[in-house]
Structure 1
Amino acid sequence: MSIVFACMDADTLGGIQQVTHTLAQGLAVRGHDVHVIGLHRARTPFTYVDRPRYTKHLTSRAPMGAEGPLSRRLSDRHLRQVLGSLTPGFAILTSPGAVTRVASMLPRRLRPIGQYHGSYEHARGSWHLGSIRRHYPDLDQAVFLSEDDALLFSEHALLPNAWSLPNPLAEWPETPSPLTTPRILGVGRLEGVKRFDRLITAFARVATPPWELHLLGDGAEESRLRRHAEAEGVAGRVVFRGRIPATRMTEEYHDAAILALTSEHEGLPVVLLEAAAHGVPAVAFDVSGGVRSAGPELVPPGDVRKFASALSDLMSCPDERLRLGAAARTRAAAFRLNPVLDRWETLFAHMAR
């Protein structure tokens, strides 16, 4: 059967894209005819899979926000041609924007699944919740990242078709981190929503040498964050590493003792799952059911004082780091790729009945 993933932008560095390519490759390896459609060109393309077993399509060369009327008509024509060429199966629309753009163009033989990579808490503070309420009930299935989120959307968005499927881990490390390097990791785009300024402040309050904070990622906030680290008196121990290739992330986790996540909102961050798979304990703000399902040490959203205290507890107790890291690795096994692919195939079978 055909399985289609439609993304507003399929090749930017981001969680939706990473999960899409991981699932696409896994389902293709299992013998399905898988297609990934990007509705816009990525401004800075990122390669997730070196040898894809699935087919990629780009329906518009215009990046998001730069598509004129003529380009949109040509893009829609191309999209209809791609969809019309596929055999019966399922179309996974990976965001509210993809749902509103693609759902009406699907031939009847492709059954629509609306995916949402955010949390209910985030959706209700943006236009997403209204869009989900309007468009997702008409889809064959609506998929969310945790049981908590599926229940909340079912109750508050009146969805009769809510289902929960977590993000998968692309790889499973053979050995966990020894947790001996005095290093805290912050991983993600250097953008406002990630609130690395809060992480720097928490680190500055409790961390003493030789502890360092390494920020992995790039983005528009880097200059401001560098100034913030200097103002907090820790510029020499906050290391801006830039974008790290996926192939090197295992050694980054191996050289870390703690992962810290200070985002204002998240769905189910792959970085939490990756850290857990490497046996690295994490501290995170309690911002979603997806975050809770990954099992980090939870802190009330935005409470920098308590976040600093949680970091301090882990920095000062190697045995506790090892205990929590081992528990995290055990919990992360449920997010390995094959069990998650099994759950997707169970959903397809459920829909086909």
Structure 2
Amino acid sequence: MAAKSTSAPRERTGSGHDAGEEPRLRVLIGSDTYPPDVNGAAYFTERLARGLAARGHDVHVVCASTGGRPGVRRAGGVVEHRLRSMPSLVHESVRLALPPGAPGHLDRLLRRLRPHAVHVQNHFLVGRLLLGAARRNRIPVVATNHFMPENLFNYLYVPGPLRAGIGRLAWRDFRRALAGVQHVTTPTRIAAQLLLDQGFDRPVEAVSCGIDLERFHPPGGGPGERARIRARLGVPDRPTFAFVGRLDEEKRIEDLIRAVPRVPVDGAQLVLAGTGAQRARLERLAEEEGAADRVRFLGFVPEEDLPLVYRAADAFAISGIAELQSIATLEAMASGLPVVAADAMALPHLVHVGRNGYLYEPGSPDDLAKYLGAILASAEERSRMGAASREIAARHDHERSLDRFERIYRDVASRSAVLGSAA
């Protein structure tokens, strides 16, 4: 991964190029999920697009429209091409682009823009349509994988006995869809190895989703500021661990709720920020566990207020077992929080046992509660581990990720002899 530059800010010319540097890029990013969708892939795609635009590049995004009708708008320096869509039958917050007419529309868009590279964030409807259009128009393609079959099983109501077989079919479809792309990335080395283990026979590069270290940072006023933030969020001033993310089945939030009455710290509470299909079931579980007064459901938190949730907490806990990186965990670490995470998939990539937190056995709330208790009971441990979390998160500065993606786009464009003719 490219190192972050420490030189002075580069001068911008009127043409949008950096003085004395390579010409600006024209990039078309395609994704089936994009804000206002609430998920890690959507947030990463928006952060990538707007980060590139802030560097002076010409950035376009193809995604589903939010209300059904197609349209084009500029937001955050990015031109959004919203395709006609319909509500998803599997998730309330996701809409599906409608294929009729889309291939011709994308062909015309690519012929008009002639981007140096197309970057697809998935291999579903939008990604697959854009892959086909890019191949027809000889535009090089970069693909980033955020996919695991486990993240779809619950939405599609796949019975447990069928999941292994359907997972194999899903990975076969993935390999076929991305067979011809020029460069493949995924957020972590563990996620890259997963693709190789599933028979993907192309090199896969680990490029972190990145984190905005200026936006996510520890509270500057110590315990007093944390108490004020809790009051603003309507949360009691007690020892607090938090989770930020969707309240859906694959996140296994029942582990977190069952841990609450087992944490050996008086008054310890759990704050959950996010929405999802499992909220009513989780509220009932909190009552059954006798912890309803110590599990706080904040619901949807506006993007501008999200950093406050982390600053209100003493620790962060995550129980999902299908995380390819976990942007929420990175945000918590950048905010100076110790982390207790399920020992599964890519989470051990972020949590260094004894240094910035602990890993617990998935499905064991007693194990989780033990580690949370050790952190919440010791201000010294929280301070030490929080500083280590911030240090580890600094390696995932989103500016480094932007540096690397810029270079990838230039490399694939150069290899495809596009850069000179399209500039």
TM-score (norm. length: structure 1): 0.88
Q: CA deviation at 1:13?
A: 1.2
Partner of 1:137: 179
Partner of 2:207: 165
Tell me if structure 1 keeps the 8 A contact 2:318–2:341. Answer: yes
Q: CA deviation at 1:322?
A: 1.1
SS at match of 2:408: helix
Partner of 2:130: 102
User: Could you list the runs of 5+ residues in structure 1 that have no partner in the other structure?
Assistant: 45-49
Tell me if structure 2 keeps the 8 A contact 1:116–1:143. Answer: yes
1:310/1:43 CA distance change after superposition, 3 Å = farther
* In 1, Cα distance between equivalents of 2:105 and 2:254: 43
Q: Residues 1-353 of structure 1 correspond to what in structure 2 (within 5 A)?
A: 1-11=25-35, 12-38=37-63, 40-42=64-66, 51-64=75-88, 72-97=99-124, 98-106=126-134, 107-118=136-147, 126=167, 127-173=169-215, 175-177=217-219, 178=222, 182-289=239-346, 291-295=347-351, 296-351=357-412, 352-353=414-415
1:233/1:216 CA distance change after superposition, 3 Å = same
SS at match of 1:341: helix
Letter matched to residue 130 of structure 2? V
Q: CA deviation at 1:309?
A: 1.5
1:175/1:224 CA distance change after superposition, 3 Å = closer
Tell which deviates more after alignment, 225-234 or 170-179.
170-179
Letter matched to residue 294 of structure 1? L
Tell me if structure 2 keeps the 8 A contact 1:93–1:99. Answer: yes
Q: CA deviation at 1:293?
A: 2.5
* In 2, Cα distance between equivalents of 1:18 and 1:74: 27
* In 1, Cα distance between equivalents of 2:287 and 2:204: 47
Q: CA deviation at 1:189?
A: 1.4
Tell me if structure 2 keeps the 8 A contact 1:121–1:288. Answer: no
Offset from partner CA, 1:305-340 (integer Å, 9 cap, x none): 222211121112221111111001011112112111
Tell me if structure 2 keeps the 8 A contact 1:121–1:287. Answer: no
Tell which deviates more after alignment, 16-25 or 141-150.
141-150
Q: CA deviation at 1:43?
A: 6.7
Q: CA deviation at 1:349?
A: 3.5
Q: CA deviation at 1:278?
A: 0.8
Q: CA deviation at 1:263?
A: 1.3
Offset from partner CA, 1:123-177 (integer Å, 9 cap, x none): 9953542222222232111111112222342354232231111112135248524
Tell me if structure 2 keeps the 8 A contact 1:41–1:64. Answer: no
Number of residues of Structure 1 aligned to a counterpart in Structure 2: 343
* In 1, Cα distance between equivalents of 2:78 and 2:284: 44
Q: CA deviation at 1:116?
A: 0.7
Tell me if structure 2 keeps the 8 A contact 1:59–1:79. Answer: no
* In 2, Cα distance between equivalents of 1:21 and 1:155: 29
Letter matched to residue 46 of structure 2? H
1:78/1:170 CA distance change after superposition, 3 Å = farther
TM-score (norm. length: structure 2): 0.74
* In 2, Cα distance between equivalents of 1:265 and 1:155: 15
Letter matched to residue 203 of structure 2? N
* In 2, Cα distance between equivalents of 1:243 and 1:308: 26
Tell me if structure 2 keeps the 8 A contact 1:185–1:214. Answer: yes
1:266/1:247 CA distance change after superposition, 3 Å = same
Tell which deviates more after alignment, 235-244 or 91-100.
91-100
Identity of aligned residues (%): 27
Tell me if structure 2 keeps the 8 A contact 1:172–1:336. Answer: no
Q: CA deviation at 1:182?
A: 1.4
Q: CA deviation at 1:196?
A: 1.3
Provide the alpha-carbon RMSD of the alignment.
2.7
